[in-house]
Structure 1
Amino acid sequence: MKSIGYICLTIATAAIVTLTSCSSTPTAENPSAPGASSKPQGTEAVSQQSHSGHGGKPKININTAILSELDKFEAKLGVPALSNKIQANRPYGSPEDLVTKKVITQEQFDQIKDQVSIQEVKLQGEAKDVDYATKLGLMKGHLLVAKELLDQNQPKQAEPHIGHPVEEIYVDVEEQLNERKVKEFKTTLVGLQDLVKSNPKNAKVKTDFVASVQAVDGAIAALPTSQRSKPGFVLQVINGLLDAANSEYGAAIANGKIAAAIEYQDSRGFVTYVNELYQGISSQVSQADPEAHKAIETSLADLTKVWPAAVPPAKPVKTPEDVTKLVKTIEQNSQKVIDESSTKAQK
């Protein structure tokens, strides 16, 4: 996805509701978390305004959101590289500064103003854990698609996806990593990225890649096993990753063509990891709500076909609107299971 500017981001944790597009990651301070259709417990809004987003979803804090979240605006408005432009013009004293600073026009701002905020949301309890798991899930998705590209001898295409976890996400989750006493692994990711850039045929790439994946998995494992296997929790993470994938895919398509291969690949990686996560809880979901399980499973199968390979096809398999429809179906049915699980827990 985009530029190294993420390293300069202040640590934020957007309020997302799911265990991602880069395109849309939740951050503790940023109320624009993916999968906002889910409602994890423990979200403390700094202000009422900051937590009441368009369509019931949290707003996106344009001062702290990572590029994946900002891609929602890029996809909606169809403005290439808008995410980077928003980031480059920080800080903003008000949402209207997007117009004042000539980032977008007044007409464009009117289309997204209900989704824009400069307020922060602090996360606690389960909401904080969902945010943490979702960000790490986005890292995992990036690495999964990078591995595919490396296996296909495409190191130049793989390299950005190794960089994204550091450039876009690590700084945003670093505070939580420290709180959870997770060993620092930014150095591991940076080392792998540098090696793929300078000497992709080096045998050390494989061992360093394995170490990077293990580091992310280890960070995820900092959450209790019981929580990571709980359908209600995992589905929140899944919804967040799908929200990110949806935004990334929308940003990848322009004029009916796949204009941005990186965003296409980002979304593929996120959906690949979503499938992995759902396989781990599918039997439990099937027992809890067979109808919801069938809808989720069917929609996931259709969604996976959108990305036939890591290298984009000549023509998109589905339109962004088609992908949004599938994602909404999964999120709506996931929310049914999440709500049912929450009701049982309260009894």
Structure 2
Amino acid sequence: MKLILGLVAILFLNIVSFGYAEDDKIAFAGYLEKTLGHFWAIEKNLDDNNANLAIVHATHPISELYLSMKPELKKANPEFDAQVQKTLMELHSKVGDKVTRKDAQKSIDEAKRIIEQARSIVIGDKLSKDTNFNVAVMINLLAASKAEYAEGVKNGKIAEMIEFQDGSSFVWRSQQIFEKIKPDLPKTQAEKIGKLYPQVWKAYDSNVEPSEVARLVDSITHELDEVSSTKTESANLGTYFDNIQKLLADAKKQYAAGKPDVAQSLVTKAYLDNYEYLEPILLKQNPVLKKEIELMMRQDLRTMLKTGESKDKIGTQIDAILKKLEQAKKLVMSEQKPNSEKYTTSSKYDAQSKDVNCAKPMRLLSNKETGKTTCVKSESVAKMLKSGWTK
């Protein structure tokens, strides 16, 4: 009997650990896709003879996305991690106006090859081809594109070109994934999504209001939800604040424990995967506060981590950021609808109410045994289903 129970326990732990591994791989795939999106933006700008914008997009993967990829790369293959870092670090010098378009393309193609190799090493070829896996990556890319577009376009004009191009590159990458998995999707959803993408591009070309782009992108997400049999609940921005608080607190602990690379990754995730979704509304309510937090987190804190400041100074900086975030949270939450007071306060928050609203792109799951409901990130759904939760 003890042997049986032991085997059951081992099996359960393996299932849970597999779920966590899959969550990490979905997040990692998102960073790869965003990197490929920046490569596409480099190509577009070079074709338009805009080397300056091309260089900006060439710096984003190494200055932001690589920091989030590094822990997984280093764990999988330290030597290859160094190769990825070197390739991305040198890219900006190989796509400027001092090199020919042909030579620049060679460098971009080599960087693409490295990224695909990273996909194979960390994610694996089998999972990379899985339809549900790719649907989850698409949903996250589309959510990120909305936030970028909202920052990039104001009053029918492009106010921030980099953010505008970031948004379009993420849409483009999601469409590339769609074309790859389209044969495996139900015909109805595939046809609807296929008709929506041209509408999104038309909206981009016309610089329509962010709300219209959000409507079109949400329509694609809705069809993807139908495919994955999970429903995206109404958005609530409070979750992002809670995620940032936890990530920064963990970053402080990891840095104090002598793990600066892990701390850098956590801070980058706090910004890219959470704060960026808050920026559009903060920009409307208090642009000065929005910029202060952005610089404190994205620039100052990451520079301090990189240069090896003392753990006390790092702690002080994080505390200052959290204090500013409290001000921002009061402003942002005042924009929430009255019925959104039932929002969840973390990605794994348990609640008794069946009326919980989850923040996009999170999913609402329930546990029949306990009667509880929970909001989890889309990439965590598979893990939760395997551990007893239901949609």
2:100 aligned counterpart, secondary structure: coil
CA contact (8 A) 1:252 1:264 kept: yes
Change (3 A) 1:247 1:173: same
Answer yes or no: is 1:210 the counterpart of 2:100.
Answer: no
Q: Using the alignment, how far apart are the partners of 2:165 and 2:188 within structure 1?
A: 31
CA contact (8 A) 1:177 1:219 kept: yes
Q: Using the alignment, how far apart are the partners of 1:307 and 1:140 within structure 2?
A: 20
Q: Using the alignment, how far apart are the partners of 1:202 and 1:302 within structure 2?
A: 31
| Matched AA of 1:274 | S
Shift of 1:259: 0.6
CA contact (8 A) 2:32 2:115 kept: yes
1:138 aligned counterpart, secondary structure: helix
Shift of 1:294: 2.6
Q: Could you tell me which residue of structure 1 aligns to residue 33 of structure 2?
A: 137
Q: Using the alignment, how far apart are the partners of 1:157 and 1:146 within structure 2?
A: 7
Q: Could you tell me which residue of structure 2 aligns to residue 58 of structure 1?
A: none
| Matched AA of 2:105 | K
| Matched AA of 1:141 | G
2:114 aligned counterpart, secondary structure: helix
Change (3 A) 1:337 1:43: farther
Q: Using the alignment, how far apart are the partners of 1:230 and 1:43 within structure 2?
A: 19
Q: Could you tell me which residue of structure 2 aligns to residue 47 of structure 1?
A: none
Q: Could you tell me which residue of structure 1 aligns to residue 128 of structure 2?
A: 228
Answer yes or no: is 1:253 the counterpart of 2:150.
Answer: no
Answer yes or no: is 1:299 the counterpart of 2:189.
Answer: no
Q: Could you tell me which residue of structure 2 aligns to residue 117 of structure 1?
A: none
Q: Pick one of 162, 169, 173 that aligns with 2:65.
A: 169
| Matched AA of 2:110 | A
CA contact (8 A) 2:128 2:134 kept: yes
Considering only aligned residues, what root-mean-square deviation do their CA atoms show, in Å? 2.8
Q: Using the alignment, how far apart are the partners of 2:63 and 2:117 within structure 1?
A: 20
Q: Could you tell me which residue of structure 1 aligns to residue 165 of structure 2?
A: 265
Q: Using the alignment, how far apart are the partners of 1:284 and 1:173 within structure 2?
A: 29
1:199 aligned counterpart, secondary structure: coil
What are the equivalent positions in structure 2 for 1:98-247 lying under 5 Å apart? Answer: 124-181=20-77, 182-183=80-81, 184-197=83-96, 199-201=98-100, 204-222=103-121, 223-247=123-147
Larger helix proportion, structure 1 or 2? Answer: 2
CA contact (8 A) 1:42 1:127 kept: no
Change (3 A) 1:161 1:43: farther
TM-score, structure 2 normalization: 0.51
Give the count of matched residue pairs.
218
CA contact (8 A) 2:54 2:96 kept: no
Q: Could you tell me which residue of structure 2 aligns to residue 328 of structure 1?
A: 218
Higher relative contact order (CA 8 A, sep 6+): 1
Q: Using the alignment, how far apart are the partners of 1:256 and 1:152 within structure 2?
A: 22
Shift of 1:336: 2.0
1:153 aligned counterpart, secondary structure: coil
CA contact (8 A) 2:35 2:65 kept: yes
CA contact (8 A) 2:148 2:166 kept: yes
* CA distances 1:185-227 after superposition (whole Å, capped 9, x unpaired): 1211221202334624375323222111111121122222221
| Matched AA of 1:133 | A
| Matched AA of 2:167 | S
What are the equivalent positions in structure 2 for 1:333-344 lying under 5 Å apart? Answer: 333-339=223-229
Q: Could you tell me which residue of structure 2 aligns to residue 10 of structure 1?
A: none
| Matched AA of 2:104 | V
CA contact (8 A) 1:296 1:330 kept: yes
> If you compute each CA radius of gyration, which structure gives the higher value, 1 or 2?
2
Shift of 1:270: 1.2
| Matched AA of 1:259 | A
Identity of aligned residues (%): 22
Unpaired stretches in structure 2, ≥5 consecutive residues: 1-14, 231-380, 387-391
